Amino acid sequence: MQETRNAFGTFLRSLAEGMATQQDWRRFTIAHYHDPTLEAARIELVRASQHESEMPTESSKVQDLASEIDRRFSS
Q: How confident is the model at residue 14 (pLDDT cuts 50, 70, 90)?
A: very high
Q: What is the pTM of this model?
A: 0.90
Report helix, strand or coil for 65. helix
**Average of per-residue pLDDT across 11-39:** 95
Task: Return all residues near 28 (Cβ < 8 A) that are at least 6 apart.
Answer: 7, 8, 11, 42
**Average of per-residue pLDDT across 21-46:** 95
**Average of per-residue pLDDT across 16-41:** 95
- Choose among 22, 13, 10: nearest CA to 63: 13
**Average of per-residue pLDDT across 25-38:** 95
